[in-house]
């Protein structure tokens, strides 16, 4: 049994201020001298960027769809190693999960799997005593979920907050007044990433101040410390010290255009004998010295297409290296970067395809099947993943698909390349990391 004080920050629906409060709570607890570990329910990469700023350590994701139910608690314990308290930000409404999955991968699902008490954030700007009914329903809907307290957000006045408070039987841990200055800006895929906001650290500090002034941190900590010890062993990547052969460099795209990557990806590769070296495709004129593998994760290349396109020496080097067989994994943003063009702007041209912004957002949580034996896949093998993008690639599939999803081939693959829109979490599918690392080592 492993003790870990922890709390889930949830809401009745999206747009209630969950990210604002969760990030502010992490930062306020850290400022008070606590070692805080930040986690996010679901596949989202953006919120963990803010969590990392607030906590001073990598933000982590907890998603039963991506990694399986049995790995959620081990990943929580791994990410929270050495922390005094873990704060887990929920996703959407408390009970909203994978469509058609009866709440699978919802915040409630993760709270139940990890036996973590829930603090509910409720926007009260458009209601008063009706909030009591909402909170009562949230707290009693599922007996496996423990809603231990409430934070009232967007209060119009003390009188308004008192009226709401009188309707709630659970402890009210704080009241946050209306304050447009602490809102986080949105974009076509959600929040603007922390890496893209020059004022991100200032915003997080502001959130910490607001939460410290309006929320009873001691009461939140008491709830966190009431969580029972977890009957799970922390997840661990292969120990890097156990690697006996020569180490190889894996270049990982970073910078403002490529901000999406699960922390466990680099940890797995490091344990498999790879030195993970970040580079900025918008700024760096060349790949890191000795690059033996290339990982192009997710992000917003469509926002930074002009900067990526003008870095012609790097575009040419990557095109030549990938076409020459450099082991390369590209997920979503990486796929766009490997196309000929992105919204008419030249990219690397590795793929005979063009990318462009689309009218509709694609958001799905599929199970994907390997269409053939490729760099990452084996024919017929299945993995779970997610897609989240507002672009299209034409054509959307190459001679060898990266995956088959819902009966259709998607993406581009070969013995040395794997590029598609699908994001996967390699802790849930470590064979993908192992195959990539083997190719990097020349296996």
Counted domains in the chain: 2
CA distance 424 to 45: 12
Q: Residue-wise pLDDT tens for the chain (443 aa)?
A: 789 999 999 999 999 999 999 999 999 999 999 999 999 999 988 889 889 989 999 999 999 999 999 999 999 999 999 999 999 999 999 999 988 889 999 999 999 999 999 999 999 999 999 999 999 999 999 999 999 999 999 999 999 999 999 999 999 999 999 875 665 544 443 445 655 555 677 888 888 999 999 999 999 999 999 999 999 999 999 998 789 889 999 999 999 889 888 999 999 999 999 999 999 999 999 999 999 999 999 988 888 899 999 999 999 999 999 999 999 999 999 999 999 999 999 999 999 999 998 888 777 899 999 999 999 999 999 999 999 878 999 999 999 999 999 999 999 999 999 999 999 999 999 999 999 999 999 96
Rounded to an integer, what is the distance from CA 41 to the centroid of its chain? 8
Domain annotation covers residue 287 = yes
Single out the catalytic residue among 55, 274, 332, 339. Answer: 332
CATH number of the domain at 47, please.
Answer: 3.40.50.300
138-171 burial code (b ≥16 CB/10 A, e <16) = bbeebeebbbbbbbbbbbeeeebbebbbebbebe
Q: For residue 286, is it within any domain? A: yes
Residue 197: the pLDDT is: 54
Distances from the Cα of 144 to the Cα of 147, 237, 263, 276, 432, angstroms: 10, 31, 30, 41, 34
90 and 181, same domain (yes or no): yes
Span 90-144, pLDDT tens digits: 999 999 998 888 999 999 999 999 999 999 999 999 999 999 999 999 999 999 9
Residue 235 lies in a domain: no
Residue 160 and residue 128 in contact, taking contact as beta carbons nearer than 8 Å: yes
Listed residues 182, 201, 225: the one ending a domain: 225
329 and 372 in a single domain? The answer is: yes
Residues 347 and 274 reside in one and the same domain: yes
Same structural domain, 203 and 326: no
Q: For 226-276, where are the alpha helices, taking DSSP H only?
A: 263-271
214 plus 352 within the same structural domain: no
What pTM does this model have? 0.94
Same structural domain, 59 and 176: yes
At residue 130's C-alpha, the angle toward residues 126 and 136, to 5°, is 130
**379 domain residue, yes or no:** yes
Q: Are residues 195 and 244 in the same domain?
A: no
The DSSP-derived string for 114-162 is TT--EEEEEE-TT-STHHHHHHHHHHHS-TTS-EEEEEEEEE--HHHHH
- Which residue range is the domain that position 252 belongs to? 240-440
Residues 195 and 220 in one domain: yes
Question: DSSP strand E in 201-353: where?
Answer: 248-253, 274-279, 291-296, 328-331, 341-342, 345-346
332 is catalytic: yes
Residue 128 placed within a domain: yes
The continuous run of DSSP H or E covering 172 comes out as: strand 172-177
Are 363 and 276 members of one domain?
yes
Evaluate whether 416 touches 424 at the Cβ level (below 8 Å): no
- The answer to the question of residue 234 being in a domain is no
Structural domain includes residue 232? no
Last residue of a domain, one of 197, 225, 253: 225
Q: Based on the fold, state whether residues 219 and 356 are members of the same structural domain.
A: no
CA-to-CA dists, residue 334 to 2, 160, 201, angstroms:
38, 49, 27
Q: Which one of 198, 225, 252 terminates a domain? A: 225
């Amino acid at each position: 049994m492993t003790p870990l004080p922890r709390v889930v920050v949830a809401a009745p629906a999206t747009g209630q201020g969950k990210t604002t409060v969760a990030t502010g709570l992490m930062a306020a607890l850290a400022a008070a001298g606590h070692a805080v570990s930040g986690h996010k329910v679901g596949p989202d990469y953006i919120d963990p960027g803010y969590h990392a700023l607030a906590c001073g350590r990598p933000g982590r994701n907890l998603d039963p769809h991506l990694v399986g139910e049995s790995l959620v608690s081990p990943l929580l314990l791994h990410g929270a190693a050495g922390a005094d308290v873990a704060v887990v930000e929920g996703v959407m409404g408390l009970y909203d999960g994978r469509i058609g999955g009866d709440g699978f991968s919802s915040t409630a699902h993760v709270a139940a799997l990890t036996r973590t008490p829930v603090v509910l954030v409720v926007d009260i700007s458009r209601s008063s005593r009706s909030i009591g009914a909402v909170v009562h329903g949230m707290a009693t809907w599922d007996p496996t979920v423990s809603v231990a307290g409430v934070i009232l957000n967007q209060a119009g006045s003390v009188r308004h907050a008192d009226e709401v408070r009188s309707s709630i039987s659970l402890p009210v841990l704080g009241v946050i007044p209306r304050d447009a200055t602490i809102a986080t800006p949105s974009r076509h895929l959600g929040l603007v990433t922390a890496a893209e906001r020059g004022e991100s650290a200032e915003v997080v500090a502001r959130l910490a101040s607001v939460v410290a002034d309006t929320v009873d941190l001691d009461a939140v900590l008491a709830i966190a410390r009431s969580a029972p010890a977890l009957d799970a062993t922390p997840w661990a990547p292969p120990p890097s010290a156990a690697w006996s052969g020569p180490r190889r460099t894996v270049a990982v795209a970073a910078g403002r255009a490529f901000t999406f990557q699960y922390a466990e990806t680099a940890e797995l590769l490091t344990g498999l004998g790879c030195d993970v070296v970040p580079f900025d495709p918008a700024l760096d004129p060349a790949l890191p010295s000795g690059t033996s593998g290339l990982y192009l994760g997710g992000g917003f290349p469509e926002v930074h297409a002009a900067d990526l396109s003008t870095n012609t020496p790097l575009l040419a080097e990557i095109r030549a290296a990938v076409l020459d067989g450099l082991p390369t994994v590209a997920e979503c943003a990486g796929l766009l970067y490997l196309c000929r063009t992105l919204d008419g702007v030249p990219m690397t041209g590795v793929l005979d395809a063009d990318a462009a912004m689309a009218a509709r957002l694609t958001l799905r949580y599929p199970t994907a099947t390997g269409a053939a034996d490729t760099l990452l896949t084996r024919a017929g093998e299945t993995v779970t993943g997610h897609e989240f993008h507002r672009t299209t690639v034409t054509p959307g599939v190459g001679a060898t698909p990266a995956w088959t999803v819902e009966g259709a081939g998607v993406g581009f693959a070969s013995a040395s390349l794997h590029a598609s829109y699908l994001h996967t979490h390699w802790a849930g599918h470590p064979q993908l990391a192992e195959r990539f690392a083997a190719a990097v080592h020349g296996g």
